[in-house]
Amino acid sequence: MRSDILKKGIETLPHRALLRAAGLNDDDMEKPFIGVADSFNDIIPGHIHLRKLSEEVKKGIRDAGGVPFEWGVPGICDGIAMHVSMRHSLPSRDHIADNIELMVLSHSLDGWVGVTNCDKITPGMLMAAARLDIPSIIITGGPMMAGGESGELDLSSAFEAVGSLEKGSMDPGKARQIEMNSCPGAGSCSGLFTANTMSCITEALGMSLEGSATTLAISNRKLEEAYMTGRRAVELVRDDLRPSAIMTENAFENAATVYIAIGGSTNGILHLAAVAKEAGIRLDADVFDGISRKVPNICHISPSGPHHLEDLDRAGGIPAVMKELREYLKDAIDIEGSNLKEKIKEAVVRDPTVIRPVSDPFYPEGGIAVLRGSLAASSVVKQIAVNDDMMRHKGPARVFHKEGDVLDAIRSGTIREGDVVIINFMGPAGAPGMPEMLTPTAAIAGAGFDKVALVTDGRFSGATRGPCIGHVEPEAFVGGAIGLIRDGDIIEIDIPERRIDILVDEGELERRRRALTPPERKLTPFLERYRRSIMNEYHDR
DSSP string, 368-381: EEEEBSSS-SEEEE
CA distance 293 to 315: 25
CA distance 119 to 107: 27
Alpha-carbon dihedral 414, 451, 435, 51, rounded to 10 degrees = 120
Q: Which of 78, 87, 71 is nearest to 128 (CA)?
A: 71
Alpha-carbon dihedral 283, 424, 519, 475, rounded to 10 degrees = 30
- 34: helix, strand or coil: strand
Cis before 303 (ω within 30): yes
Q: At what angle do helices 194-205 and 121-132 cross, to 10 degrees?
A: 30
CA distance 503 to 489: 7
Q: Are 451 and 390 in contact (CB under 8 A)?
A: yes
CA distance 316 to 516: 52
CA distance 199 to 170: 34
Which residues are known catalytic residues?
461
Residue 65's Cβ-side half-sphere holds a number of Cα atoms within 13 Å equal to 7
Q: Enumerate residues 6+ apart whose C-beta is below 8 A from 532.
A: none
CA distance 493 to 420: 10
- Size (the chain), residues: 541
Query: Would you give the end-to-end CA distance of the chain in angstroms?
Result: 38
